[in-house]
Chain A
Amino acid sequence: MAEIPNPIEKSITAHNKRKVGEKTKSIESSMGVRYRALVEQVPAIFYTDSAENISQTLYISPQLKTITGYDPEEFITDNDMWDKMIYPEDRERVWAEFNRSFAALKTSKSEYRIITRDGRIIWISDESHLVSDRSGKPLFWQGVMVDITALKLAEQIQQMTYRISHAVVSTTSLDELYTSIHSILGELMPVENFYIALYDSATDLISFPIYVDLYDQQPVPAKPVHGLTEYLMRTKKPLWATREVFTELEQSGEVEMIGTDSIEWVGVPLMVGERLTGVMVTQSYTEGVVYKQEHVDLMVFASAQVALAIERKRDQQRISDALEYNKTLIDSSSLGIRTYDADGQCILANESIARILGITREQVLGENYNQLKSWKQSGLLESASEAVASGNETRREIRTKNSAGKEIWLDCRFTPFSSHGEPHLLVSVDDITISKQAEVNLKVYAAKLEQSNRDLQEFAYIASHDLQEPLRKVLAFGDRLASKYGDVLDETGRDYLKRMQDASMRMQTLINDLLSFSRVSTRAQPFTVVDMNSLTEDVISDLENQIDRTQGHVEVGNLPVIEADPTQMHQLLQNLITNALKFHQDGILPIIQVSSQLMDSKCQINVKDNGIGFDIQYLDRIFKPFQRLHGRQEYEGSGMGLAICRRIVERHSGDITAISTPGEGSTFIVTLPINQPLGDSTYVQ
């Protein structure tokens, strides 16, 4: 129970008392003119209620009228007026509070809405306390009602703003944000039909990330048309459109109707600074005034925050997408990627580097390269430091062991870069173990091949040498036998002896030819520049005797200069020309023509003769070792000459073939590349 604290209240009390019989009189008389004026100036409604009957108002200040439009006289006479004024939703709550405090004789305080005479809704803060006399006997309730509509709105806006901006952080996606915005607004105003439209100037498309509507479906992104949405985007001003406004706009050609006709439409532009990003709209299909000014105000207030929230969220999304993209790139790369900060601490590592090194990502992230012994030993520290110091990329190939002890080859690249003004280092590692291993294997194989070649050569030489030796004896003693005891033998005996000697000589030839054949690979010399013309002249000179004997004639055309093994080229041409001379036709002087043609990177050398020729169906056979087309009786030879030719040609990556007509002659065609890998003699077939 409060004492009467101040003169104003005293006056009011007095004033009120007067109104009600004798009490009224005392109130009135205690009210001074200046106090009344003061009281009536304050923008608040002062009132006094009876302590016995709470519904009975003894006094209410004139501000009642200015604030609510209701007449104080009316208010006092009509005890229900107050109740009727209260916004229906709040009534229960207000009465509950009021009754409670009345019963408890305590101060009552509540905030509630009242409907003004002209139908507006305002927020009121109503506080009243009990005034008692000195003995504690309740005298009357003293109250003040303040219009806190603006405050309340501000509160609401603040809260909404906070909640919307909080939604940027609390939602995990743009979709969730839109839904959040919708629901936040939904607590404050009717937004059953609600959408946000966003405009992308780059694509000139309007999209509707959120579209809640009783009738219409969420539209797909489309070019701007002539609806209200587009109108709003053009004008950049909030629009509260009723049926009349629609019609007006339609008639003026500003707008075409799109979608289901709504009764009322409220749209606000979403602006980030001067830039329009989209619009936010709510609409109603039901008759009757749905939206109030306060709703429109709320939308307007919300729009700035919503626009900002959307921008922020999109940025967040973009960054998150970019990060995700980068992360995917980095993680999915088969290269081992690490970045280090200025102190040498590893701040990023992908799975691949962990896999390459055979440790976990966590272990990699824990490393500081300045402290790694392996980096110091392998020279990686040097390369890293050089990169950081010079600002240029360095590179180093190292051989090391992974955690399992397996030897690996790594190609490491150090790229310095700046991040937030601090020097960082990107280290990308390519595991080249397989290709290095292949390189090593190749070298080993090449060395083995060389060794094998040498062994083969030695073997072939020794074999032929050791094989020749007894042959020589057979021949030599055969000779002795023939010359010393030839006359002792009869014809058959001499014949047998001759056949033995012939056979031995054939074997000798065979061994020599086999040795030649194997020497094509084992005695291959490095390729060098060979003048085929002068080489052919040499061959002809060597074959002078045979040429004379057969009365042959060799014509040599213009032959090219190529890269080849000179000894083998000599052998090749010698074999071909010898054959041409050997297989001449009886009674016809052998004429041999050696000519050539150049084709791209190859040259073709032809050795044409007018000899006996051969049946083309045997073309494959003649190049095989020991294959002969004639009996030993007819033509001597082991059948190796052309096989040796083919082997030589193959070693030069060339080709040999022939065309022939029996009885007319043959042409042997050798195709050889003009260029060879110079100095290369190791890789032979």
Chain B
Amino acid sequence: MFNNAKAVNFLIAEDDPDDRLLIREAFQESRVSNRINFVEDGVQLMDYLRRQDKYADPASSPTPDLILLDLNMPRKDGREALAEIKSDPRLRYIPVVVLTTSKAEEDIMRSYDIGAASYITKPVTFDGLVEAIKGFKQYWVQIVCLPELDAVKD
């Protein structure tokens, strides 16, 4: 019953290099061995999803099965990017989980409204982050079914 057939890969949009490192380490600590790619802001995120520029190669930049999205990023922030993704018929099927420092009610509400699948406030401690990633993995990797790549019409 569980979806363990294929290796799910994540695309993580995070501007803070420290946070990028910590997230990577948290994934490692929680034994999530899925492939993760990083982009540093909303522009890069959209470029990646649209296979623009340096993201043209699907081998190095595979279409993500799920996007983890920080809201506060330079150039184009997560809020804008989320809106773009969820209004693009070729991209909106990809579940987006917001992972950000903000716990503002407005951000939470707006994110769900625009179409985020979940909203996670970055835990304060590293352990907390590990716990969150574990929980995240259990849900999205173990329990839930994600669409297979071939089923997606490009």
Contacts and interface: CB of A to CB of B under 8 A. Distances in A.
Direct touching of A and B (C-beta under 8 Å): yes
Interface of A: 465, 468-469, 472-473, 475-477, 479-480, 508
Given A469-B101, A476-B18, A480-B126, 15 more contacts: A472-B124, A473-B18, A473-B19, A473-B22, A475-B124, A475-B126, A476-B22, A476-B125, A476-B129, A477-B18, A477-B126, A479-B126, A479-B127, A480-B22, A480-B25
Contacts of B19: 473
A465 B126 contact: no
B101 to A, nearest CB: 7
A465 B101 CA distance: 9
A468 B122 CA distance: 12
Interface string B13-25: 0000011001001
B127 to A, nearest CB: 7
B152 to A, nearest CB: 36
A513 to B, nearest CB: 15
Contacts of A508: 124
A468 B125 CA distance: 12
Contacts of A477: 18, 22, 126
Contacts of A473: 18-19, 22
Interface string B91-130: 0000000000100000000000000000000101111010
B72 to A, nearest CB: 10
B25, B101, B122, B126: which has the most chain A beta carbons within 10 Å?
B126
A476 B123 CA distance: 10
Interface in B17-46: 18-19, 22, 25
Contacts of A479: 125-127
Given A465-B101, A469-B101, A480-B25, A475 B18 contact: no
Query: Which 6 pairs from chain A and chain B are nearest by CB?
Result: A479-B126, A476-B126, A473-B18, A476-B22, A472-B124, A475-B125
A479 B19 CA distance: 14
B57 to A, nearest CB: 32
20 contacts: A468-B124, A469-B101, A472-B122, A473-B18, A473-B19, A473-B22, A475-B124, A475-B125, A475-B126, A476-B22, A476-B125, A476-B129, A477-B18, A477-B22, A479-B125, A479-B126, A479-B127, A480-B22, A480-B25, A480-B126
B6 to A, nearest CB: 31
A473 B19 CA distance: 8
A477 B19 CA distance: 10
A473 B16 CA distance: 10
Contacts of B125: 475-476, 479
A468, A469, A472: which has the most chain B beta carbons within 10 Å?
A472
A508 B124 CA distance: 10
A472 B23 CA distance: 13
Contacts of B18: 473, 476-477
Contacts of A468: 124
A530 B10 CA distance: 48
A297 to B, nearest CB: 112
A278 B124 CA distance: 108
Nearest to A479: B126
A472 B19 CA distance: 10
Nearest to B127: A479
A479 B124 CA distance: 12
A241 B127 CA distance: 131
Nearest to B124: A472
A466 to B, nearest CB: 10
Nearest to A465: B101
A105 to B, nearest CB: 135
Nearest to A469: B101
A472 B101 CA distance: 10
Contacts of A465: 101
Contacts of B101: 465, 469
A508 B18 CA distance: 18
Nearest to A474: B18
Contacts of B122: 472
Contacts of B129: 476
Interface in B122-153: 122, 124-127, 129
Contacts of A469: 101
A473 B101 CA distance: 12
A475 B126 CA distance: 8
B74 to A, nearest CB: 15
A473 B18 CA distance: 7
A508 B125 CA distance: 11
A469 B18 CA distance: 10
Nearest to A508: B124
A475 B122 CA distance: 14
A435 B19 CA distance: 58
A473 B124 CA distance: 9
A476 B122 CA distance: 12
Contacts of B126: 475-477, 479-480
Contacts of B124: 468, 472, 475, 508
Contacts of A475: 124-126
A479 B127 CA distance: 8
A460 to B, nearest CB: 14
